[in-house]
Amino acid sequence: MAKLCIIFMLVILTAAVPATEGLKKGPKAVEKWFKKLPQAKEKLSKLHFYFHDAVSGKNPTAVKVAESKITSQAPTFFGIVSIADDPLTVGPESDSKIIGRAQGMYCMASLEELGLLMTFNLVFTDGEYNGSTLSVLGHNPIFHEYREMPIVGGSGIFRLARGIATAKTVWHNFTSKDAVVEYTVMVLHY
Ligand SMILES: *[C@@H]1O[C@H](CO)[C@@H](O)[C@H](O)[C@H]1NC(C)=O
Ligand SMILES: *[C@@H]1O[C@H](CO)[C@@H](O)[C@H](O)[C@H]1NC(C)=O
């Protein structure tokens, strides 16, 4: 009877722990995960969020850190390097719930049209992806309706991730250069 009771309690305890808390970090945990990899099934996750790039105002989330001697004459702002820590939210509104940040760098890397080199990490801070990251490295011609950027890796839940992020601008202020961009991310991971 006592044995049965203990088993029953263990079942309840295991059920009460959300899946994310089961994600262990550190070298031992990663080694264990790695050893199970040959039997592991690849998962497909779809994420949807809004990216808020605030260049202007008192609290910008993206700042220009460098430009070249020719940037001021270049119609495409060629040579600008900016660092961003942009909030990622559930909805397009500025006060929408934050689920993570896009931290990294974008550069004006095109002479012909406005085209950015995006190198940043999506750092999730809420919900099932809290503590996990995805790394984006891609070409972002910001005036195209849809842009596709490769997901080249990830951590936590997204270990060994690869996938595609699509970006679509939902709002852009030409004067302040502030923008809100809708992101849909499709990612394979283990
Ligand atoms: C996300 O995870 C961190 C670290 O484990 C924790 O401190 C924080 O409360 C979590 N945030 C949410 C919103 O669950
Ligand atoms: C666009 O930005 C400018 C300059 O910061 C500001 O004066 C204007 O109100 C903004 N427009 C909208 C629609 O928010």
pLDDT band, residue 156 (cuts 50/70/90): very high
Is residue 150 within a helix (H) or strand (E), and if so which, with residue range?
Answer: strand 147-155
Token pair in block for residue 157: 């839940």
Whole-model pTM: value is 0.87
Mutating to test ligand 2, I would choose from 173, 174, 180 the residue with most ligand atoms within 8 A of its C-beta, which is: 173
150 lines ligand 1 (CB under 6 A): no
- pLDDT 10s digits, 90-143: 999 999 999 999 999 999 999 999 999 999 999 999 999 999 999 999 999 999
The three-point CA angle 96-148-89 to 5° equals 10
Q: Where are the domains of the chain?
A: 2-189
- pLDDT 10s digits, 50-84: 999 999 999 999 999 999 999 999 999 999 999 99
Is residue 44 within a helix (H) or strand (E), and if so which, with residue range?
Answer: strand 43-53
Mutating to test ligand 1, I would choose from 24, 126, 130, 157 the residue with most ligand atoms within 8 A of its C-beta, which is: 130
The residue-averaged pLDDT of 18-43 equals 85
Q: Whose CA is nearest to atom 11 of ligand 1?
A: 126
126 lines ligand 1 (CB under 6 A): yes
* CA 186 to ligand 2 center in whole angstroms: 33
pLDDT at 17: 44
Mutating to test ligand 2, I would choose from 56, 175, 178, 180 the residue with most ligand atoms within 8 A of its C-beta, which is: 175
Alpha carbon of 71 to those of 78, 143, 164: distances in Å? 5, 19, 30
173 lines ligand 2 (CB under 6 A): yes
Other CB atoms within a 10 A radius of the CB of residue 4 amount to: 8
Residue 50 to residue 66: CA distance in whole angstroms: 26
Name the CATH superfamily, with its identifier, for domain 2-189. Allene oxide cyclase-like (2.40.480.10)
pLDDT band, residue 16 (cuts 50/70/90): very low
Beta bridge partners of 148: 166
pLDDT at 23: 82
